[in-house]
Structure 1
Amino acid sequence: MRVSRQRFAGPRLLVAALLACFAQPAGAAAGIPLDIIVFSGVQDLPFFVATEKGFFEEQGLNVRITLTGSSTELREGMAAGKYQIAHTAADNAVAMVELQHADTVIVMGGDNSFNHLFVTPEIEKYEDLRGKTLVVDAPNTAFALVAYQMLADHGVKRGEYTVSLEGGTPAKRIASMADNRIAQAGMLNLPYSVLAPRKGLRELGSLTSAIGQYQGTSGFVLRPWAGANRDTVVKYIAAYIQAVRWIKTLAHKAEAVAMLVNHLKLAPEVAAQCYDIVADPATGFAKDAEFDLKGFENVLKLRAVVEGAWGGRPPAAAGYLDLSFYDQAAAKTK
């Protein structure tokens, strides 16, 4: 597996590990090439596992990873056909359809995003964020919408705080709050939500406690490409399912923690805490990377409420999904 660092100019946190994260062993057999784009973080553990345990190779795949510097970069690269599969919040697939008019479809699930709203030490409650700065990736997708809703639920309206677009990645968001001090609030996922308290930041609330079920990390593709390469998509999902099963087998904890330490350069205790979160049977990685339909309906509802999309009435989820690829892969791995 090859990794590239495309226009990634975030802080040094984890950056030293990026090129090594998905390094393909020398002499690895060639296979069907697949270009995947993802954010760097603990959500990438299935890729580490699928590579090191040979699950991609067993499916005849040569998976090549690009680490994105922002969701905008990811969506633009997908729309341009530079990548075949993206893994990030499901709302980005919706944004590609609705804002970029790209024929994008979600084919698998992943997790609930493990996101929490963190603030700088002087912020004690939501109301303290009036007149302050919220740092986000893009202003109109995914976790920015979640943050807006969390603030609105506590009486803090859009326009009562500034939105900074300096947070293309979680690494940039934590730096904006803890190091550069240009923002007072931002959404963080793993490992940053574990690292944040160690840097003096405090949590105001979790995404799932505020929104309920939420379809976070998802795999999505351009529909025409997937239709023409069905067998490849199914093989890819099958390898991913195998990796998730391996991760959620607690006997593999020590090895999985070692992968996080190695690839993300985390302290062992931080990596162990992250593993415990993603391996949790109820709230960790979705079983077999299943798609959470109720969580996705909440994604659509959030976009309708916060952005006023579709006249405030969310559309049916089915138009953004083709889970037949997943169903075929799941049957293949039984």
Structure 2
Amino acid sequence: METENVRVMWFVPPLLALVASQDAQAIAVHADRNRSSDEQFDALVAGHVDAVVTSMDNVIGWNRRVGPRDFRVVAQIERTTPLTVVARPQLRNLRDLRGANLLVDAPDNGFVVALRAMLRDAGIESGSVRLTPAGGVKERFDALVAGQGDATLLGPPFDSMAQAAGLACIASVQDIYADFPGQGVVVRKAGAVNAKVAAWLQALERARRRVCENPELASQAVVAAGFPRAVADAMAAQNPDSLRPSAEGVALLIAHRRSLGLMGADNDYSTIVDDSMVEQYVGGQK
């Protein structure tokens, strides 16, 4: 059994990591909750972490920044990331967001690209909304509840918490883009394969198979981590068929950038994803 920790950062503990934590054979994980994708970028560049769990679109944006430009998605750990546009109660649909102040993690990378594509499809010009960086999902939830913006994208459990607080759920990314991918495990490609990340991917694959065999066990692991039962069941439902990043999902991310005129539309699967670790250490089995 591995004795050295793998160092990771994430916004919310993902299902497979919670299930893997109950595996006595799994590598130990030192995990920190980050407050923004910029914090993840900085930690990877500085070598403070081995991997982060984040939107796969971030790799496209990060590889355009000044820096190492060697970021790759090595695994996809959920079928999709459920994302809901949550707004002040008087706002009823996407068209009502014209002129709104939208709270985002970053204005040009991550889940905001899907939000911008949704607004474009609803006929809202990019210049008719304001994008205000407000941090990760918890930070955006807190800011929206505090009245610091008009709307934002939230995922479990913060979407249901926002609804309980009287805010309105006005649109779902998944309802509009069925191929929208789940979060990925992102590393820097430089140097040899990180043995700790490889061991973690093996533990995540064992967890994925356990969830397939016993979804109730998975829900119990999420509840034990302090999440409501409804959130646990929703997370278990997003168990992926494979840790290999979805080709359809990656293609959708690129298509969104192309339609919005954003940098990165010239990417392809190979410039975003390196699935060699899944192939070598997990087997890419379904």
Q: TM-score, normalising length from structure 1?
A: 0.78
The answer to whether structure 1 residue 273 and structure 2 residue 227 are counterparts is no
Give, in whole Å, the separation in 1 of the partners of 2:115 and 2:47. Answer: 30
Deviation at 1:79, TM superposition (A): 1.5
Give, in whole Å, the separation in 2 of the partners of 1:332 and 1:87. Answer: 19
Q: Which residues in structure 2 correspond to 1:246-261 (within 5 Å)? A: 246-250=210-214, 252-253=215-216, 255-261=217-223
Of 247, 261, 275, 1:323 maps to 275
Q: TM-score, normalising length from structure 2?
A: 0.90
List runs of 5+ in structure 1 lacking aligned partners: 1-28
Equivalent residues of 1:35, 1:63 under 8 A apart: yes
The answer to whether structure 1 residue 40 and structure 2 residue 12 are counterparts is yes
Q: How big is each residue's C-alpha offset from its partner over 1:185-224, in whole Å with a ceiling of 9 and x where there is no partner?
A: 1101111123222121222221122233122310121112
Give, in whole Å, the separation in 2 of the partners of 1:209 and 1:171. Answer: 23
Of 119, 124, 130, 1:151 maps to 119
Q: Which residues in structure 2 correspond to 1:1-334 (within 5 Å)? A: 31-41=3-13, 44-56=14-26, 61-101=27-67, 102-111=69-78, 112-166=80-134, 168-177=135-144, 179-225=145-191, 227-229=192-194, 231-250=195-214, 252-253=215-216, 255-263=217-225, 265-266=226-227, 271-280=228-237, 284-310=238-264, 313-331=265-283
Deviation at 1:286, TM superposition (A): 1.1
Give, in whole Å, the separation in 1 of the partners of 2:243 and 2:91. Answer: 36
Give, in whole Å, the separation in 2 of the partners of 1:106 and 1:332. Answer: 14
SS in 2 for 1:287: coil
Give, in whole Å, the separation in 1 of the partners of 2:218 and 2:239. Answer: 14
Deviation at 1:333, TM superposition (A): 8.0
SS in 2 for 1:155: coil
Equivalent residues of 1:242, 1:288 under 8 A apart: no
Give, in whole Å, the separation in 2 of the partners of 1:248 and 1:191. Answer: 22
Equivalent residues of 1:238, 1:329 under 8 A apart: yes
Equivalent residues of 1:214, 1:292 under 8 A apart: no
Give, in whole Å, the separation in 2 of the partners of 1:332 and 1:151. Answer: 35
Give the number of equivalent residue pairs.
Answer: 284
Give, in whole Å, the separation in 2 of the partners of 1:94 and 1:203. Answer: 28
Deviation at 1:322, TM superposition (A): 1.6
SS in 1 for 2:111: helix
Deviation at 1:66, TM superposition (A): 1.6
Equivalent residues of 1:86, 1:220 under 8 A apart: yes
Report which structure shows greater RCO (CA 8 Å, sep ≥6).
2
**Cα separation, partners in 2 of 1:48 and 1:55, compared to 1, 3 Å:** farther
Deviation at 1:55, TM superposition (A): 4.0
Q: 1:19 corresponds to which residue? A: none
Give, in whole Å, the separation in 1 of the partners of 2:129 and 2:274. Answer: 38
Give, in whole Å, the separation in 1 of the partners of 2:284 and 2:275. Answer: 14
Task: Report sequence identity in percent.
Answer: 20
Give, in whole Å, the separation in 1 of the partners of 2:143 and 2:148. Answer: 5
Equivalent residues of 2:219, 2:233 under 8 A apart: no
* Moved >4 Å (runs of 4+): none
SS in 1 for 2:9: strand
